[in-house]
Amino acid sequence: MNTLQTNSVLPLVSQLRSSYPALQQVLQAPFQLNLIIDTNVILGDMLWMLKKRRNANAKTEILELLQNRTLFACAPTLLKKEIKRHIPVIAKKEGLDEGAFLCLWKEYERYIEFLPYKTSQKLRKQCERDPNDAPFLALQMSHRYPIHSKDKDMVAMGGKVINARLITDLKEYSRNAEICYSFEISGIGIGILTISTARAIFVLLSKIPKQIYAGAAIGLFVLLLHPKSREQILKCIESNMKGISAALEEAANMISPSLEKYNQSRNIVEDKKELIIGQLAGQGLQFRR
């Protein structure tokens, strides 16, 4: 299986803000979520991609968010052992190619930060229902990140687990943020090009001798004194103004749908971000990157 690629603009935004501090006044930082991710979530994702998806380019919500860096996932080092232990069993049970399973796992693995953990005697006692959950709860206690898990025991043992709907909200935020940032970056590019062009023209004009400016001004003044030449000049100006007006109107008609789409996406971005923060704010967790 080939490595899945992403053309997301969101990582570019973060890179631009970091490389060019002046852009921080123009480009708002994308919303990013820190999350501890459980083994069952990754296994469920990979099983869907290997068994159920019909479009070879389709991705799960988690993988899409990991690739565009809206989601920063971490996990205890134990996750690697659990994944590699479960893959052969699931592949055999579901009739899947174990090699394809392992290849897909490498795609997920590259986006997950594996952190060391310490489990106290008190925590191990708290996790008697499922000792394998203790490392995930230990990370939550030390880093205060929310957990994404389908394991009901995780909640029963005191884990603060997100609602699955939050991932869908984050995906909708991410996709609309792509539209907004693409529009904004394009606008910045056009602005820089316009400024550069104007600067080049100014430099070119500054090299013209003052005598030529004076001669041109006198010549124009003489032409305006003559009725026929004045009439021709005014007609030329009027004709050009009509052309400029028509060009501006055409440009406005072309950009209007894009601007409308931008405004719609911007509203969704703000609504989803507020919704996600509202869902997590009361849990006393550190979830924003």
For the chain, the domains span 10-172
Query: How is domain 10-172 classified at the CATH fold level?
Result: Rossmann fold (3.40.50)
Please report which confidence band the pLDDT of residue 226 belongs to, taking 50, 70 and 90 as the band edges.
Answer: low
Report whether pLDDT(197) > 70: no
Dihedral class, residue 69 (left if φ above 0, else alpha if ψ from -120 to 50, else beta): left
Q: Residue 191 — pLDDT band, cuts 50, 70, 90?
A: very low
Closest to 189 in 3D by CA, of 197, 177, 178: 197
- Cα separation, 266 vs 38, in Å, equals 32
Task: Please provide residue 259's backbone torsions phi and psi, each rounded to the nearest 5 degrees.
Answer: -65, -40
Q: Which of 12, 24, 21, 23 is nearest to 188 (CA)?
A: 23
Smallest CA-to-CA distance from 105 within 79, 141, 68, 69 is with: 79
Averaged confidence pLDDT in the chain: 81
- The whole-number pLDDT of residue 203 equals 47
For residue 194, what pLDDT is reported? 42
Does the pLDDT at position 248 exceed 50? Answer: no
Structure confidence at residue 246 (pLDDT): 55
- pLDDT beyond 80 at 162: yes
The position carrying tokens 């050009």 is 240
Most confident of 11-20, 29-38, 209-218: 29-38
- pLDDT tens for residues 84-123? 999 999 999 999 999 999 999 999 999 999 999 988 889 9
- pLDDT per residue as tens digits for the range 47-77: 999 998 888 888 999 999 999 999 999 999 9
- Distance from the first to the final alpha carbon of the chain: 31
- How sure is the predictor about 3, in pLDDT bands with cuts at 50, 70 and 90? very low
Given pLDDT bands bounded at 50, 70 and 90, which one contains residue 164?
Answer: confident
* Confidence at 32, pLDDT banded by 50, 70, 90: very high
Angle between the N-to-C axes of helices 210-225 and 227-281, in degrees from 0 to 180, rounded to the nearest 10:
120
